[in-house]
Amino acid sequence: MSKLNETDIQGFVLRGYNLPLARYLFLHFEDASRARTLIGQLLHHVTTGQRWDGGKPQSTVNIAFTHQGLAALELPDATLLSFPVEFQQGMKKRAGILGDTGLNSPERWDEPWREDRVHAWLGINAQSPAALDSRCAEILGLLQATGGAVMLPSQDAAAVVIDGKPTTREHFGFTDGFGNPDYLGVDRSAQPGQGKLMPDGTWAPLATGELLLGYADEAGELPVVPVPHILASNGTFMVYRKLHQNLATFRAYLNEHAPLYGGGREKLAAKFIGRWRDGTPLELSPDNPDLSIAHDPKRSTNFTYGADSEGTRCPIGAHIRRVHPRDAFGFNGRLINRRRITRRGLPYGQFVAEGEPVSDTEERGVIFMALNASISRQFEFVQQQWIEYGNDAHLGNDKDVLMGNHGGHGKFVVQGDASAMNPPFICSKLPNFVELRGGDYFFLPSITALGMIAMDLVDPR
């Protein structure tokens, strides 16, 4: 395949920046021509996928649009109608499909998500608070100068800092940041276990078209794209979800159930996710965490479930096993290659150490962003069929223990064996540990496409 033109692809798509701070601005366009002028100016700021030879920049900027945003920019109707159906509808209208009901339903969402006013997302990542503020000030300056958009309530996010250093932990205490797929042509240090499984047991990168529009995907064809192709090429779709975490409920639930579980509190927590809190995969080290594995990229995601079909090491319903089943469904993993997503995002809210007082009403959670070529085939499928449901894993209606919309019902089975430290165990009457507080579907265009939008040159014929 041809080499990717990294200068045409937004950097946010090709790599996680690993910058510790972020501010997500949400914009509403009131006048198409002023908005286009604004985008033209923002183009100079947008971070591309070009490699950083001189080290990481102090801050980065990326931009994406909702369907309503593209309509407000007055793209042609034929183009607007050629976008995939789920993107046209937006995430709120898909609530029934995604299981965003009850505590997750749109009536309970935060601003700016409750009304349909979000037209654009501006993601600003930065090394330091000073860099973040200065970059934001520049952007705000542009907004004022062009009158191109109104600012809606923004969202701050930051890596959890422990002992003065930013970490990849999230609020429940788990280490995050494994599990992003490898794609053909996307240059990053590949880790075994992140691509697709080959018949000989090695891992190969996924087809580029699973992430980027305009390239062949795992089904051997080009994914559905809007017209004209040049608007779509090198772009992708982004799912943004603000996931509030009920930390008090989570800790209380563990405290209540861990005494009954033979393996102890840390092991029970590990069974929820499929990794010990330090990131060691249960599949490779079922009895105790092992930093030498967690810190070794050649091992930290290099495992399969074939030898653990009963779930005695990593429970069948554990989070990482649900969202990336690897070979668990047979057929050498071929059934899952078109269901992978790339995750970006950061936690938000104050980190509270174990044992310190904490309340569910405090603003705390994770900003979850998924990048994929087809929202319905990838993100929506995983959310509906593998998180809020369990049939493919032979778990019936059981939901993901951490993410599922349980409403006080449901259960999570920790499969075990006859040993005292690894008994079978059922967690029932599950509360909602995570609640959805807003989000939407976005289109993340290429640099070329941004230019076309800014210059009003989009023509579907």
- Is the CB of 11 or the CB of 311 nearer to another protein? 311
- Per DSSP, the residues of 210-271 read GTSTTS--TTSSPPP-PSSHHHHTT-EEEEEEEEEE-HHHHHHHHHHHGGGSTT-HHHHHHH
Q: Is-contact 13 447, C-beta < 8 A? A: no
From the list 7-15, 52-60, 133-141, 397-405, the region that binds another protein by CB under 8 A is: 397-405
Query: Which string of x and - marks every residue 101-120 that binds another protein (by CB under 8 A)?
Result: xx------------------
Q: Which residues from 314-343 bind another protein, rule CB under 8 A?
A: 316, 330-331, 334-335, 337-338
Q: Which is nearer to another protein, 280 or 432 (CB)?
A: 432
Instruction: Classify the C-alpha dihedral 19-374-41-29 as positive or negative.
Output: negative
Name which of residues 367 to 386 contact another protein (CB under 8 A): 376-377, 380-381, 384-385
Residues in the chain: 461
Closest to another protein by CB, 338 vs 437, is 338
The helix (H) or strand (E) run that includes residue 350 is: none
Distance (Å) of CA 175 to CA 171, 181, 281: 9, 17, 11
Q: Which stretch binds another protein (CB under 8 A): 110-118, 171-179, 243-251, 418-426?
A: 418-426
CA dist., res. 84 & res. 247, Å (int): 36
Question: Measured from the CB atom, is 84 or 112 closer to another protein?
Answer: 84
From 8-16, 154-162, 213-221, 245-253, give the range in contact with another protein by CB under 8 A: 213-221
Q: Kindly provide the b/e burial profile for residues 327-338, where b requires at least 16 CB atoms within 10 angstroms of the residue's own CB.
A: bbeeebbeebbb
Q: Is 306 helix (H, G, I), strand (E, B) or coil?
A: helix
Residues 56, 256, 394, 457: which binds another protein (CB under 8 A)?
Answer: 394
77, 296, 354, 417: which one contacts another protein (CB under 8 A)? 417
Give the binding range for another protein (CB under 8 A) out of 49-57, 109-117, 139-147, 424-432: 424-432
Residues between 25 and 64 with contacts to another protein, criterion CB under 8 A? none
Which residue from 65, 121, 389, 443 is in contact with another protein, where contact means CB under 8 A? Answer: 389
Report d(CA 160, CA 351) in Å as an integer. 6
Regarding 264 and contact with another protein (CB under 8 A), the answer is: no
Instruction: Tell me how far, at minimum, the Cβ of 403 lies from another protein, in Å.
Output: 15
Residues 426-455 that bind another protein (CB under 8 A): 426, 428
Neighbour-count burial of 100, counting CB atoms closer than 10 A to its CB (0-12 exposed, 13-18 middle, 19+ buried): buried
CA distances from 88 to 152, 266, 393 (A): 21, 43, 31
Kindly tell me which of 357 and 396 has the beta carbon lying closer to another protein.
Answer: 396
162: Cβ contacts below 8 Å, ≥ 6 apart: 169, 351
Residues that bind another protein (CB under 8 A): 86, 94, 96-97, 99, 101-102, 219-221, 260, 310-311, 316, 330-331, 334-335, 337-338, 376-377, 380-381, 384-385, 388-391, 394-398, 405, 407, 409-411, 413, 415-418, 423-426, 428
